[in-house]
Structure 1
Amino acid sequence: MGMREMQAMAYEHRSAPYLLLKSPPASGKSRALMYLALDKLRKQGLKKAIIAVPERSIGSSFKPTNLSEGGFAWDWHLEGRNNLCGAGDDLGKGKIQAFKRFLDSDDETLVCTHATLRFAVDEIADPSRFNNTVVGIDEFHHVSADEANVLGRVIDEIMQGSNAHIVAMTGSYFRGDGINILESEDEAQFETVTYTYYDQLNGYRHLKSIGIGYHFYEGVYFDALDNALDTTKKTIIHIPNVNSSESIGKHEEVDRILDKIGVVGERIGNANINRVTTNDGRDLLVANLVDDNKESRDATVDYLQNITSRDEMDIIIALGMAKEGFDWPWCEHVLTIGYRSSLTEVVQIVGRATRDVEGKRHAQFTNLIAMPDGADEDRKKAVNTLLKAITASLLMEQVLAPSIKFKPRSRIKLGEKVPKGTRIIEDENKPVSNRCADILEGGVAEYIADITATPGAMKLMAGDENQGRLLREEDIKSVLRMREADLSDDEIDLLAQEIHLSLAAQATGGLIDGDELPPDADVVGEKPPCDYTVDGQEETESYTDANSVPEPKLISRYELDSGETGSETYPSGRAGEKFLKVGSRFININNVNLDMISHINPFARGEEILSKHLTPDRLARVKDALTLPRNDVTEDEAVILLPRLKEFFKDKKRRPRHDANDPYEQRLAQVAQFVENYLKKKQAVS
């Protein structure tokens, strides 16, 4: 029927009223949703399909599509009046009225943003209006059951108050902020289909490998672009965050990058797209998504959404756009300038280059970051640790960047509800300044990029067990004093402590240091601790009396050894070990026996560390290395089940899957893994 492997896997579950599809970027989730929605409309008695996406630019993924040419029974149609991802305010009356008109019409399909969906549902105030409707939620990890997340409440209302079907799609299902996606009773109703980067790459016709590399530069990053940017590759360039030390002003940066590419020529229509001639005489089309002018940006986005051939674009320069859900199939290189602390963001960026199109055999992610002080070996260890974490994320797609919220006690009003996991700063006796409070409540992330370029941060990332306190006392404070000269010494100390706490969860790409590992942590390959319980904590804490405010609480995962705050700590004796949080489990990255660094390539003012290409075979080896510790198959059991394994290979023409819904197939996958490992050991001995 013209389906790719993942789409066929999802289609097998088409009758499920609640379906969760976990699959990497560029794996075909949008078309899978079309197949599922059409089957529900044509065969299951549903009357309407509503697709919600996180931002307008992603709506183009659901434009009218000819599915019948591949053998499917129906095509995907979308009337222009029901595409609510065009220009205009997502929360404006026009789009809300169009949504309501759609429900009252005979039209079958509608595409809108998450924001339009949640405001329309609130205005309609009757979930039964969604009876006989399939609601598809793209990038489902934007949803949560937290009170502050309206979309999570909206999905819950639709599930509770109608017979609507829900199809949820994501590449990062589990939220690192500790908040459930949905209420547990709703979540349990979903059937799950999981498709990994290994599965995706193994099934591609053209793209055969993914590379992950780091360039370190000295001075300013523009001087390193000659080595990091290959203008013969279709490239997306993400410039640094405007608050980072690398940034010199986003518009000036775009101009200097354009000058690096070549001589800027004519502009294409109203869009912010220029023809640029390189030094060797090639004419390139370069798009600027950094420009703030709404009219030209909308024209640029419209141009990019309607590209139909490789020759219509060469390089895109962006700041916050062109990441999650952005679709440019011919992109083969994403060059990200400045440190990115979120594994989820890195995985989403890598996904921009992993579409399978003719002529593209390799996709590359390059992170261009300031060269930190420190020994080469420290730097090499740190990059190797990050490469392992990123590779694991590509395979296991359950990582979301941790989030720690801070709030000074002096800013908590009587009766105010503070979200679960908020780190409360005790400053009642001596309230912090407004600037310090602003940093605590929303500005901590601004400093992480600067701090991670310091010698102490580099040693911490490399696993130096004696580095934690030194980092807080020297490196972080020096950055704060440089950028916030008006803060008092006490406020510098306070901010350094809280930023250090945030770094523990984010600075190494979402890894967790062994010192902070909770005693009840479920570590892959290790037996869970016995007879250990943790008291439950209410979702919110209400402060109704200034004299009866409870002690500040912190999610145990983020607690650090700090006598100054009185936080409870859990010494685990695992200093220097790094753990990747995957759903509710942890993987010890330091114990993954893989060397992901292929070679070091020096160049004029920096150093490049490249990962080995992530081919299907290498991804399979990484996955084995991550999952093998929990394989409890015995030799006797392997002998008994080996004939069944051979039958499976013969019938299915594929390997059994560890993440299959069938427990029997899961066990056969472990048997296959055991046999392969057994044969490798036997060959090594002989």
Structure 2
Amino acid sequence: MVDLVRMTYGHSGADSKTNSLGQRPMQARVYEARAAQFLLLKAPPAAGKSRALMFLALDKLENQGVKKVVVAVPETSIGSSFRSTDLTAYGFWADWDVEPQWNLCLSGEDGMAKSQKVKAFEAFMDSDARVIVCTHATFRFAFDAIEKARGVEAFDDFLIAVDEFHHVAAADDNRLGEILRKLLAREKAHMMAMTGSYFRGDSVPVLRPEDEARFKSITYSYYEQLEGYEHLKSLGISYSFYRGRYVSAIPDVLDTDRKTIIHIPHRGSAEAFGEKHDEVGLIMGAIGEHVGRDPDTGFDLVKRASDGKVLKIADLVDDGDGRDGIKAALQAEAKGPDGKRDDAADRAKVDIIIALGMAKEGFDWPWCEHALTIGYRNSLTEIVQIIGRATRDAPGKPHAQFTNLVAEPGVETTVVADAVNDMLKAISGAMLMEQVLAPNFKFYRREDGDIRAPVETMKDGTVHIGIKGLMEPPTARARAIVENDMNELVAKACQAMDRRVVADDVAPEVATQMVLTDIIETTYENLSDDETESVRQDLAARMNLIGMAKRASQEGGFAEEGEEYDAEPSENLSLMNMVKRFVNVRELDIDLIDSVNPFKEGFDVASRAFDTPLLKTIQDAMISQRIQMSEKEALTLWPRIKRFRAQEGREPNPHSSDPLEKRLAEAHAYIKTKKAERQRAAQSGT
């Protein structure tokens, strides 16, 4: 396996420390903003969003005139995160109390008919109870019925809290989105939206811009979370190939000493085969001998072939009657005589979880060290959620790993080009996670004689970095894009990873200038050239900074200009220290940033896992997809052609063995042909 991304963090332990009210840093940040009527919380999985809501909701109930709280979650398994919680024991002034009958996710909502769910919600409306927990679907059904009977004003002075908010969309056919827009328009309800995903991953935004502008946004980054952990020190993102059926590769990628969640392929995908239950059985067979089932938990018992150890495996793929018992056993925390979690017993409870469409968002298993996902995932949001299953901090867990096991593009593949493109998508997912895991960077134009530190971390966690020659946003609109939309643009850039940006004949400027410009121009209408260029430069800097710092570290440390590199590589530097050392040593300018192709860097790391025949197959597929020279690419390459002539004393050779030189020659020929055409047209007067 090859780690496409490996991040090391400072592990300060700050995230696990609480203030006098028992609030972790992110929760305290939310509580400080509790007076906002509409609040949007963007925080990673396992950051403590559910408890942040509890603190905020209790204040709104007690001090802000809110009468009732509705908590809506995407599936019943997440409802346990919002069950009654003792907060006074940790310093808060009230406890979070949800009567069992009003936590519909714990009282069998899955088995209730639609009419029963609506009746239960209507009963809550007429009761003295203050909090109800239900699924998104139940909230939709109940809202429709209650609005019809009582009007939308029935929800005045309610707090509507929507967990996993990325399920909402601004599209007209998204019912939950329509409901929330009605409540926003009336301005009588309070609202809290929570999401662990920083982008939706498709073309439909979560909120319309005019609606999102009404929310106060609180962002707590992956970087802040992982940097503040006490135990988890590093995170790796890797992928591995298999030939034939994926089960044959399970022994190679699954370390059964590590607590693991295995997500089997979507039904109907190229990786799936036979019945889903057959796949689970074959995975267990690859681990060892099935010796029975635990009568109390429903976990399968599999004797490991290597040493006879019996592993406990939770099968969440089987959707029969036993699954509710397995889910309950997973959610039940092992506690000691003092009533607190018994770490050793809780960790030993289960070894492996096998899932299909479950155990993703909101699923809490702090001991998970490895998320093994089989098959490509087109949804970047889904990738982020899956990785989040392994990023909880827990004692005895110094490293977390995400592995994507994918089919090898080879001669047995029906369409090699499609397989190569799917492989590039997998790499793009890792690239995107590298960006998601990074600090929140803010770039500024650094002038000669600037006395500011070239890199500085602010109190809110934002890292300010100076770049020479950077074009700062010239208008309010461009500044708003840079401040609010860069995560979306990074996601779109990663999704654009294809032959245009990773082939050997692609110049870095094609990726950092032409492709990124295309993405920005497609996303926003009527931007001026200066607005587009300022956004493009910020985007290129974000996508390249971590990779440039990492490469300098891996080449042997850092040195001032003219000095020798350190003898030993500095791979174990924490992410922020690595960036600081790189920026302090190497003066950044926009030309340096544009000279590095972030897509090609990611592809080159991945290619270390390719054997020679596979690499040739991939290269041949890319050659077959060769893109015809365009005027835009030729003009992008013109400065590089001029540099080539100045340095080499000749024109680029169209017969060169260097693919990039051949591409430069094609661009040069294209420019000369177009110039000749224009001259002829001018002479003929046409």
Interval of TM-score (by shorter of Structure 1 and Structure 2): 0.5 to 0.7
Q: 2:236 aligns with which of 211, 217, 220?
A: 211
* Residues 1:394 and 2:437 aligned together: yes
- CA 1:382/1:239 → structure 2, altered by over 3 Å: closer, same or farther? closer
Equivalent position of 2:46 in the other structure? 26
Q: Which residue of 1 aligns with 2:161?
A: 136
Candidates 303, 308, 328, aligned match of 1:277: 303
Query: What does the per-residue CA deviation read over 1:566-585, in whole Å, with 9 as the maximum and x for residues that have no partner?
Result: xxxxxx9xxxxxx9999xx7
Q: Deviations over 1:381-432 (max 9, x none)?
A: 98776533221133479459999xxxxxxxxxxxxxxxxxxxxxxxxxxxxx
- Alignment match, 1:594: 548
Q: How does 1:171-570 map to 2 (within 5 A)?
A: 171-249=196-274, 250-269=276-295, 272-279=298-305, 280-293=307-320, 295-308=321-334, 309-373=346-410, 386-395=429-438, 398-399=487-488, 462-463=502-503, 514=515, 517-518=518-519, 520=521, 529-530=529-530
Instruction: Give the corresponding residue for 2:80.
Output: 60
1:92 and 2:114 matched: yes
State TM-score, norm by structure 1: 0.61
Q: Measure how far apart 1:223 and its partner are.
A: 2.5
Higher helix proportion: 2
Change (3 A) 1:93 1:107: same
Distance 1:297 1:77 in 2: 27
Letter in structure 1 aligned against 2:304: T
Once the 2 structures are TM-superposed, how far is the Cα of residue 463 of structure 1 from its aligned partner?
A: 3.9
CA deviation after TM superposition for structure 1 residue 191, in Å: 0.5
Deviations 1:279-326 (A, max 9, x none): 212222101111132x22222222222243112111000111111221
Query: What is the DSSP-based 3-state SS (H/G/I as helix, E as strand, rest coil) of the residue aligned with 2:548?
Result: coil
Q: Aligned partners of 1:361, 1:580: CA distance in 2, in Å?
A: 37
Separation in 1 of the partners of 2:37 and 2:581?
35
1:658-680 per-residue CA deviation (whole Å, 9 max, x = no partner) reads xxxxxxxxxxxxxxxxxxxxxxx
Residue 37 of structure 1 aligns with which residue?
57
- 1:591 & 1:96 partners in 2: Cα distance? 52
**Structure 1 pair 529/163, CA: closer, same or farther in 2 (3 Å)?**
same
Name the amino acid aligned to 1:11: Y
Aligned-partner residue type, residue 99 of structure 1: F
Amino acid in the other structure paired with 1:321? M
Q: Report the secondary structure of 1:269's partner residue.
A: coil
How far apart in 1 are the matches of 2:354 and 2:489?
A: 25
Higher mean alpha-carbon deviation, 68-77 vs 265-274, is at 265-274
Tell me which residue corresponds to 1:617.
576
Q: Deviations over 1:518-570 (max 9, x none)?
A: 463689xxx961599xxxxxxxxxxxxxxxxxxxxxxxxxxxxxxxxxxxxxx
Equivalent residue letter for 2:271 = E
The alpha carbon displacement at 1:329 in A equals 1.3
CA deviations over 1:340-366 (Å, ceiling 9, x no partner): 233221111110011112221111111
* Most deviating of 194-203 and 394-403: 394-403
Q: 1:70 to 1:216 in 2, by over 3 A?
A: same
Q: Which has the larger radius of gyration?
A: 2
Whether the aligned pair in 2 keeps the contact of 1:339 and 1:367 (CA below 8 Å) is: yes
List runs of 5+ in structure 1 lacking aligned partners: 404-447, 467-507, 533-571, 573-578, 600-611, 632-686
Match of 2:30 in 1: 10
Percent identity between matched residues is 45
Deviations, residues 616-637 of structure 1 (Å, cap 9, x unaligned): 5379679989xx8799xxxxxx
Contact in 2 for aligned 1:211/1:364 (Cα 8 Å): yes
Structure 2 counterpart of 1:164, which letter? A
Does the 8 Å CA contact 2:312/2:352 hold for their aligned counterparts?
Answer: yes
Aligned partners of 1:372 and 1:580: how far apart in 2?
33
Q: Which residue of 2 aligns with 1:72?
A: 92
CA distance in 1, matches of 2:498, 2:205: 33
Q: Determine the C-alpha separation between the residues in 1 that align with 2:304 and 2:397.
A: 22
Q: How many residues matched?
A: 472
Where 1:97 maps in the other structure, the secondary structure is: helix
CA distance in 1 between partners of 2:583 and 2:111 (Å): 47
| CA–CA separation in structure 2 for the residues paired with 1:44 and 1:528 | 45
Amino acid corresponding to residue 248 of structure 2 in structure 1: D
CA gap 1:291/1:622 in 2 versus in 1, 3 angstroms:
farther
Corresponding letter in the other structure for 1:260: A
Q: 1:65 Cα deviation (Å)?
A: 1.0
Q: Which amino acid aligns with 1:42?
A: E
Is 1:117 the counterpart of 2:133? The answer is: no
Supply the distance in 1 between the matched residues of 2:536 and 2:355 (Cα, whole angstroms): 29
Question: What secondary structure, in the 3-state scheme, does the structure 2 residue paired with 1:84 have?
Answer: coil
Query: How far has the Cα of 1:26 moved from its partner?
Result: 0.9
| SS across alignment from 1:357 | coil
Paired residue secondary structure (1:316): strand
Query: What SS does structure 2 have at the residue aligned with 1:358?
Result: coil
Q: 1:262 to 1:399 in 2, by over 3 A?
A: farther
SS in 2 for 1:335: strand
Unaligned runs of 5+ in 2: 1-20, 335-345, 441-485, 555-570, 592-686
Deviation per CA, 1:215-250: give whole Å up to 9, x if none.
Answer: 122333222222210111110001122222322222
Report the CA distance between 1:38 and its aligned residue: 1.0
Q: Which residue of 2 aligns with 1:540?
A: none
What value does the CA root-mean-square deviation take over the aligned residues?
4.1
Deviation at 1:157, TM superposition (A): 1.6
Give, in whole Å, the separation in 1 of the partners of 2:381 and 2:489: 5
Amino acid at match of 2:122: K
Deviates more, 1:169-178 or 1:125-134: 169-178
8 A Cα contact 1:594 1:622, kept in partner:
no
Q: SS of the residue aligned with 1:59?
A: helix
1:268 Cα offset (Å): 2.7
Task: List per-residue Cα deviations over 1:45-74 (Å, max 9, x = no partner).
Answer: 222111101111111111111112211111
| SS at 2:172 equivalent | coil
Three-state SS of the structure 2 residue aligned to 1:517 is helix
CA distance in structure 1 between the partners assigned to 2:23 and 2:544 by the alignment: 39
The answer for the alignment partner of 2:615 in structure 1 is none
Query: Does the C-alpha gap of structure 1 residues 116 and 382 become closer, same or farther in structure 2, counting only changes over 3 Å?
Result: closer
User: Given the superposition, is the C-alpha separation of residues 7 and 107 from structure 1 closer, same or farther in structure 2, using an over 3 Å criterion?
Assistant: same
Assess, with a 3 A threshold, how the Cα gap between structure 1 residues 148 and 307 changes in structure 2: closer, same or farther: same
Could you say which residue in structure 2 is the equivalent of 1:48?
68
Moved more, 334-343 or 457-466: 457-466
Q: Distance in 1 between matches of 2:407 and 2:86?
A: 47
- Cα deviation code 1:156-197 (max 9, x no counterpart): 222233522101111225434333433444322110111111
Q: Is contact 1:385-1:589 (8 Å) kept?
A: no
Distance 1:176 1:227, change over 3 A: closer
Q: Is 385-394 or 343-352 further displaced after alignment?
A: 385-394
Q: Which residue of 1 is the match for residue 130 of structure 2?
A: 108
Give the Å deviation of 1:258. Answer: 0.6
Residue 173 to residue 214, structure 1, CA distance change in 2 (3 Å)? closer
